[in-house]
Amino acid sequence: MSKPKSKNEWPLWEVFIRSKAGLSHKHVGSVHAADHEMAIENARDVYTRRSEGISIWVVESNQVHANNPAEKDSLFEPADDKIYRHPTFYEIPDEVGHI
């Protein structure tokens, strides 16, 4: 992972595609390209050959920062015991109905 890049290897870009208006962009994979324009063109050829997209984002892979998976408990566990954040926690008679 930390091996030096060879001189001619193009950088890696993560590809995100919006499949139709109204939906978010979703990660689909990655491509190599010399620059962002070529990354978009390559992503078009690789990931939208059957009309899977109407918009493409590319982000150079080394610009993506993520949490350490080993720390996922300390990050996400605090939400697990807060059942009062969900509507079903509250007791309301059925005849009241809901909004």
Partner 1 sequence: MSKEKAFEQEFENKIENEIKIEPRDWMPEKYRENLIRQISQHAHSEVVGMLPEANWITRAPSLRRKVALLAKVQDEAGHGLYLYSATETLGARREDTVDDLHEGRAKYSNIFNYPSVTWADIGVIGWLVDGAAIQNQVMLTRTSYGPYSRAMVRICKEESFHQRQGYEIVLHMAKGTPEQKEMAQDALNRWWWPSLMMFGPSDKDSKHSQQSLAWKIKRQGNDELRQEFIDKTVPQAKYAGLTIPDPDLKWNEEKGVHDFGEIDWSEFMNVIKGNGPMNRSRIKARKAAKENGAWVREAATAYHEKKMKRAQQKQSAA
Is residue 81 at the binding interface for partner 1, with CB under 8 A as the rule? Answer: no
In the sheet that holds 12-18, the strands lie side by side as 26-32, 12-18, 55-60
Helix (H) or strand (E) holding 27: strand 26-32
Is residue 78 at the binding interface for partner 1, with CB under 8 A as the rule? Answer: no
Residue 18 CB coordination number (10 Å): 16
Nearer to partner 1, 69 or 97 (CB): 69
Residue type, position 24, single letter: S
Using CB under 8 A, pick the residue from 17, 20, 22, 46 that binds partner 1: 46
Is residue 88 at the binding interface for partner 1, with CB under 8 A as the rule? Answer: no
Is residue 29 at the binding interface for partner 1, with CB under 8 A as the rule? Answer: yes
